[in-house]
Structure 1
């Protein structure tokens, strides 16, 4: 089955046509604002038997891939304020594709579905139970399509069957997933994609008392606070400039003290959360790096691996420096394997789309 995958980011659009797992055509739009034309032109040129869409938030009702229909579209629209940077763009992709190919079956693949296996203790906030129940407050987790693919592909590369996998999706947005025997048992993002690691422009986890103080003391208006936490914090906030780790590393090499502190905060956040994920699994058999930063920043990989050395993690310096994707970078003597996996959410989206559309009718 030839599947067109539509992956709309906060400002970009990635279109991929897959025949089984082989990519036969692709097109990227770096600055996409919901226009129909790129999708229409790609579909008319290449065609597809089905369309699979990445959607960030599925809320408490969408627990796996599902065929798109009007009620589902309305429900996903109602979740937009929970992931405003991504949900609206994904919905633009859904509507544009439906307009271009109204007779082609479409499947929604949600990032949150991978984390539905979280134990209640890991997924529940310590808030009044009536709040949790009434407003469906819980830790949903994100980047699930990436974590699902990377943990499986990483195990193949390392020759590890099942076991305890720490999946590190590191990009402008970043999260970790603790995957034990193929099931996610903990993750760093929560009710929204803002919890967890320090990211490019997002602060990650912050003391709620600090946030309350900023608002109640009149220092910051609520709207400004949330905008700042999402778009002006993280690496960008600490440097006062770029949130791109490449720029931070370059400035750090030039002895920029703000960049040095920003990198140290970023790396410490990664280490702290990695330790929590390993503890949740009861140990570690495989460390996986994926995403733009995970695939292309050997210094960060080396730093995290070195700090996890007490667990048996050790990377080979030459392999680590030479590798960009799909390779084992472990030292020969390492007890825990470390691999780099090219982010292929398109493969996971296509797999889930085929699974839904070929499922026997009940």
Structure 2
């Protein structure tokens, strides 16, 4: 069985999936798993696509102290126990910067260029690159593909991507990139099948999870996003503040005496829902809490989504559909209800029963704007991009041999 390995590495976990691929490049998910608790309480968990448990093993802390060690454990398990040796590996990389507008085959030069963007995605980039560098060192002949969360947004008009700062900074790469692109790309590809009546129109997609953003699609193409230069911008998130006056950063440095490193840690780890509530960044906990600060954090989250819906509808010059996706968007009918109330001015009217059961279409038949819940699948997008590049490379190699 030919397979593709998809890797999504974070600071304390490495998530992975295996897809079988046939001669026509069709993909079938075989299993998914993760190694979490890196450096604290390491554990390997994996299930078949059907949900059947394949592995659930704890390891001593010294056995898995970092991301490369976690990848080594997962790779060994796949190779030695399941006899799976992938044809190629696809990786999620958060920031592609100005250099990469589409997935790319990885070599040492690509890694070096991507390392330049670590300060722009400190929660992700270094950890995304760690397994790539490990595989380059240990399996240099294994094809690897980097798939970027910024790439889907790179066709924005310059007026949407620019800040009102000197143009030389834009040329250096200081611009609005947008993120969660793999998720939005999946939704854009799913719409013609799941909601063909609106797929070619003006659609707002709300990717709501611990990281949250919104995207304006016109005919399946991203034209505007709530996120910008970094993944701090836009909506309030689990621990990130979202839209923030730059003067606040200056105040933290000049009046509060915080160093740049302290400001970075503060903005990425201590703000958002966690900062507003003073207790938690987990929406499930906040929704059931009786603490007024928790209630306020939820209210703020919903309020800002309503504001940005107006912003994106203006960019689209109208609206034909609204889509919820990602952890909160797919699973919290309570949050969707509150957002639906905020969007009544746009013509949104939710069906209480359909919303409660997380149906595909959760708006009433007489709603002016149809509203959908579509589970995202970033891993499948990565697998598709990896297979596409792999098959293209094989085709070029065969052509060269034939000539």
Report the TM-score, using the length of structure 2 for normalisation.
0.84
Query: Which of structures 1 and 2 has the larger relative contact order (alpha carbons within 8 angstroms, sep 6+)?
Result: 1
**Match status 1:305 vs 2:344:** no
The alignment yields a C-alpha RMSD, in angstroms, of 1.8
**Match status 1:357 vs 2:390:** yes
**Match status 1:31 vs 2:37:** yes
Pick from 184, 187, 203: which aligns with 2:225?
A: 187
Any stretches of 5+ residues in structure 2 without a counterpart?
21-25, 39-65
The alpha carbon displacement at 1:99 in A equals 4.7
> Aligned pairs, how many?
356
Structure number with greater Rg is: 2
Pick from 52, 71, 75: which aligns with 1:40?
A: 75
SS of equivalent to 2:235: coil
Pick from 266, 273, 277: which aligns with 1:235?
A: 273
Displacement over 6 Å in runs of 4+: none
Any stretches of 5+ residues in structure 1 without a counterpart?
none
SS of equivalent to 1:117: coil
1:22-51 deviation line (CA, Å, top 9, x unaligned): 211111223344023233225413222221
In structure 1, distance between residues paired with 2:177 and 2:329: 22
| Match runs of 1:23-102 below 5 Å | 23-32=29-38, 33-34=66-67, 35=69, 36-44=71-79, 45=82, 46-99=84-137, 101-102=139-140
In structure 1, distance between residues paired with 2:32 and 2:73: 11
Preserved CA contact (<8 Å) 2:92 2:146? yes
Alignment-derived partner of residue 142 in structure 1: 179
**Match status 1:346 vs 2:383:** no
In structure 2, distance between residues paired with 1:353 and 1:71: 19
Alignment-derived partner of residue 332 in structure 1: 365
Q: Aligned in 2, Cα 1:180/1:38: closer, same or farther, shift over 3 Å?
A: farther
Q: Aligned in 2, Cα 1:95/1:39: closer, same or farther, shift over 3 Å?
A: farther
Report the TM-score, using the length of structure 1 for normalisation.
0.93
| Match runs of 1:133-172 below 5 Å | 133=171, 135-160=172-197, 161-172=199-210
In structure 2, distance between residues paired with 1:297 and 1:215: 37
**Match status 1:268 vs 2:269:** no
Preserved CA contact (<8 Å) 2:152 2:185? yes
Alignment-derived partner of residue 324 in structure 2: 289
